[in-house]
Structure 1
Amino acid sequence: MGLRDGLRSLPVNLTDSVRLLARFGDRVVDEPVSAGISAVPFESAMAVRSFFSWPGKRNYEGSWWSSTMRAHVGFESLLERDFAMLADHDGDVVGISSQPFALLWPHGTEHARGHVPDFFLRLRDGGGRVVDVRPVGHADSAADQFEMSRQACQEVGWEYEVFTGIPEPLGSNVRWLAGYRQDRFAPGAEVLPAIAAAFAEETPMKVGVRRVARGVGLDRSMVHAHVLNLLFTGVLTADHSQPLALDSPVSIAVEWPEQIGLEAAS
């Protein structure tokens, strides 16, 4: 089967077990689903399925630049883009891929040859999470596929999730912060200690920004951008059950600041 540009249709599985099909450049993984594939780096897999486009298509597709992957991650809808953004913000996620593999159902399965999950996440503890994305109210139409996918993930030892959207105000907060995820907003080594000292204890954002700007001689708007970058990447944390604002309390989110070069916070 040709996988150079991704599948346009799923192949038939002629075996009696669920198989997983993925591609890594010119290398193809075609294995039965089992715990033995749990460590395969599917977070680096190429999209196994072609992204289809046609005039009048209602879904918006594109690529999300991921600060986690240092590369673009594809999406096929704005809801998938929201999930990619949220995964990028999640400190427990260290790898993200879209359309990572195809699950091919056993020969004779009714109604479907297989299923391509929307995302695969590699977690900080080494585990994996497979994610399907569906709008609220539309998940029931694919309930059988999702249940079979969940069972396949259990065999491997992965988590499985059906994502239907980001609750508010978390969604608005992360969309705001995501605008500062690029490297140009990241603070340099000379500024990090001052930010660590300013937010070593929970401090209103505007107070900490003012303190850092005064201490290192930077414009407040630049320091503010640095703080928002660190809030997105998880170095700093805030309460996302409330809308973020300049008065929002902010603090260091890591237990040992020296691990990220924040020696001054000890």
Structure 2
Amino acid sequence: MSRALRSLPRNVTDTVRVQARLGGELLNVEPTRALTAEPFEDALPIREFFAWPGKRNYEGLWWSSTTKRHTGFESLLERQYLLNADHDSEVVGISSQPLALLWANGSKDADGRTLRDHAPDFFVRLSNGDGRLVDVRRPDKTEAHQFALTRALCDEIGWQYEVFTGLDGQEAHALTWLGGYRIDRYAPSPDVARHLIEAFIPATSLKAGVARAARSSGVQKDLVQANALNMLFTGRLSVDLRQPLTMDSEVGAVVAVAR
């Protein structure tokens, strides 16, 4: 099986190359629409994650309720992106450091500096089958020319492209709290899930819906509440996360979403 690279190779050709670790092999190809059929959501990180004493970025592993596996991150902002992607019902697969883009020999940015390579932070697979490359940067650290090249390459391949700069403060706070209920121990049984969906049609307060589902299912209210919070995170119930989340928040059922 191919190993993660400590450093990316230099491209001495006149065309862009795409490198990825897929199916136990190191893929090294020109970007074409044929790449849309490759399962990049299962790609292993193309390069090693580096850590050293005094490093300012916080890194670790995020357990995803979407993929049921860990995904690496290299900063708290990247972890926030994973939290948001895990909550997004359109996302069905995700991988970190999924590939390397080796720019053509002689590529330069707007200031004339040589551009050698770029490793986007994430690849996500969407429920409609589309792929999306994602770069995560603070708003004051965006790399306009590098990102423009990446977006153009995604257009050529047939992928979407996103630069994630962070969630609104209130939304981040609410989603971080809900994220604690994403794990399987809080997931409802099919019977309780059905009672919860029925309890929030039409939309009602979180407190009222939980009480109604607990009565109709015969399950302890505290457990039903945890199940409801799990369903809010996974998208089977909906709430406006731009507003403070309380037991009085209006919650509705999202019947069409299945995770």
User: Does TM-score exceed 0.5, indicating one fold?
Assistant: yes
Task: Compute the displacement of 1:197 (Å).
Answer: 1.4
| Counterparts of residues 205-224 of structure 1 (less than 5 Å) | 205-224=206-225
The residue identity in structure 2 corresponding to 1:68 is T
The residue identity in structure 2 corresponding to 1:130 is L
Task: Compute the displacement of 1:25 (Å).
Answer: 4.8
Alignment of 1:115 onto 2:142:
no
CA-based RMSD: 1.5
The residue identity in structure 1 corresponding to 2:24 is D
Post-superposition CA distance 1:74-97 (Å, at most 9, x none): 000000000011001001111111
Alignment of 1:53 onto 2:21:
no
Aligned-partner Cα distance in 2 for 1:233–1:101: 27
2:42 matched residue in structure 1: 44
2:64 matched residue in structure 1: 66
SS of the residue corresponding to residue 190 of structure 2 reads: coil
Task: Compute the displacement of 1:217 (Å).
Answer: 2.4
Aligned residues: 254
Q: Identity over the aligned pairs, expressed in percent?
A: 50
Post-superposition CA distance 1:168-198 (Å, at most 9, x none): 3211111111100001000112212211210
Alignment of 1:246 onto 2:244:
no
Query: Which deviates further from its counterpart, 35-44 or 4-13?
Result: 4-13
Post-superposition CA distance 1:102-161 (Å, at most 9, x none): 00101222422210000011111111111111112111xx22211111111111111111
Task: Compute the displacement of 1:204 (Å).
Answer: 0.5
Query: Which deviates further from its counterpart, 196-205 or 80-89?
Result: 196-205
The residue identity in structure 2 corresponding to 1:127 is D
Residues 254/197 of structure 1: CA separation in 2 closer, same or farther (3 Å cut):
closer
SS of the residue corresponding to residue 191 of structure 1 reads: helix
1:230 matched residue in structure 2: 231
SS of the residue corresponding to residue 140 of structure 2 reads: coil
Query: Which deviates further from its counterpart, 64-73 or 15-24?
Result: 15-24
Post-superposition CA distance 1:28-57 (Å, at most 9, x none): 211101111112110000000100011100
Task: Compute the displacement of 1:4 (Å).
Answer: 3.4
Aligned-partner Cα distance in 1 for 2:6–2:148: 24
The residue identity in structure 2 corresponding to 1:12 is R
Query: Which deviates further from its counterpart, 57-66 or 164-173?
Result: 164-173
Q: Which runs of 5+ in 2 are unaligned?
A: 109-113
2:210, 2:225 within 8 Å by CA — same for their partners in 1? yes
1:80 matched residue in structure 2: 78
2:111 matched residue in structure 1: none
1:183 matched residue in structure 2: 184
SS of the residue corresponding to residue 191 of structure 2 reads: coil
The residue identity in structure 2 corresponding to 1:167 is D
Q: Which runs of 5+ in 1 are unaligned?
A: 261-266
1:4, 1:25 within 8 Å by CA — same for their partners in 2? no
Alignment of 1:194 onto 2:192:
no
1:18, 1:33 within 8 Å by CA — same for their partners in 2? yes
1:186, 1:229 within 8 Å by CA — same for their partners in 2? yes
